[in-house]
Amino acid sequence: MMVHRPNFAMEAAIVYTIKTPQVVIDMDMAKRAAAIRKVLMKKATRRNQSKINQRRYRAQQKCTTDLLNQTVIQLRTDVARMEGRLEMMKLAIPPPLRTFEPECNVANEYFRMFVYGYNLDPECAQHTTQFDFLNSTMSPDLVIMGNIGLDKLLQQWVLYVNTFEAFHMELHQAHVVSFSPNVVVHAQTTLHLRISRKSIQLLFPHLLNNEPLTQKLIGRVLHLYSQQHFIFDHHGIVQELGTFVNTTLALVNLLGKLDDVLAVIGDFHLGENAEIVVVSTDD
C-alpha cells in the first residue's frame, strides 16, 4: 500500500501563484502613491517658496519706500537750508549799480539826430523822425530858455536853420554829472555857424550900415563853444534843457580886432543861453 505524501513544492507554487497579483497591485499602488506625494510635495514647496518670495518682495518694497521717504525728507531739509542761505547771500550782495545808460543814450542820440540841424520839410522822413524823437524824449512842459513847453525848442531850431547858411553841431563829450535828486547829463559841443547876409539882418541889424564889417562877416563860420545839460525826471524824460554859449570868445576868435568885436557885440541878438532873439520891426 502506497503512502500519499503532501507535495509542499506544489503547494508553495500554488500559493505564490495566488498571491503574486495582489503583491504587484500593492506595489503599483505604492508607486502611484509615492508619485502623488512627490507631486504634492513639489506643489507645497512651490507654494511655500512663492509665499517666501512674496514676503521678501514686500519687505524689499517697504525698505525701498522707507528709503525714498527718508531721501525726500532729507532733500526737503536741504532745499530749505539752501533757500535760507540764498536769501542771506542776496542780502549780503549789494544791488547792481545804476549805469544811467538810458539817459546818456538820449543825449547822444539828440546830438546825432540834429548834427546838421532840423529838417523843416514836413514831407521828409527825417523831419518826422526828428519830431517824433523830441516828442518821445522831451516833456511837454520842457523848461528851456526861460520858457515852458516843447514849442520853444522847435521854434529855436527853425530860427537856427533859417538864420545861418550852414549849421553843424559837433559833440565833444557827454557824461552824467548828477544822479540825485535827478539825473543830469552834461554835454560839451561846438556849433559851427556859417554867416550870411540874412544872418547879419537877424543877429546884427545895427551893422547893416557898416558894409566893410558886414562883408568881413559874410561867409565866415562862427565857432560857438556850447555847454548843455539835460535834466531828466524819474521816468527818463527830459524835463529841462539848459544851454550856455560863450558868444564873446566866439566873436573874438572870428574878428580878431577888439574894436570890431565891440561893434558887433553891442546889439547881438544871440543870448548866452543860445537863444536867437527875434526883434519885431513893427512900429
Write the pLDDT tens digit of every residue in 209-262. 899 999 999 999 999 999 999 999 999 999 999 999 999 999 999 998 888 899
Q: Within 10 A of 198 (CB to CB), how many other CB atoms are there?
A: 13
Higher pLDDT, 156 or 28: 156
pLDDT category of residue 12 using cuts at 50, 70 and 90: low
Compute the distance between CA of residue 17 and CA of residue 157 in angstroms, rounded to an integer.
146
**Residue showing cell 548866452:** 272
Q: What average pLDDT score do residues 151-178 get?
A: 96
Higher pLDDT, 49 or 174: 174
Per-residue model confidence as pLDDT tens digits over 57-80: 888 888 888 887 888 888 788 888
Of 269, 172, 177, 185, residue with least CA distance to 226: 172
Per-residue model confidence as pLDDT tens digits over 31-53: 888 888 888 888 888 888 888 88
Higher pLDDT, 141 or 71: 141
Q: What is the pTM of this model?
A: 0.66
Cell numbers at 183, concatenated = 539825473
Lowest mean pLDDT among 62-71, 88-97, 165-174: 88-97
- Burial label for 232, CB within 10 Å (0-12, 13-18, 19+), is buried
pLDDT category of residue 283 using cuts at 50, 70 and 90: very low
Residue 14 makes CB contacts below 8 A (sequence gap 6+) with: none
Q: What average pLDDT score do residues 164-173 get?
A: 97
pLDDT category of residue 269 using cuts at 50, 70 and 90: very high
pLDDT category of residue 167 using cuts at 50, 70 and 90: very high
Cell numbers at 195, concatenated = 554867416
Q: 257 by DSSP, 3-state: which?
A: coil
Lowest mean pLDDT among 22-31, 160-169, 186-195: 22-31
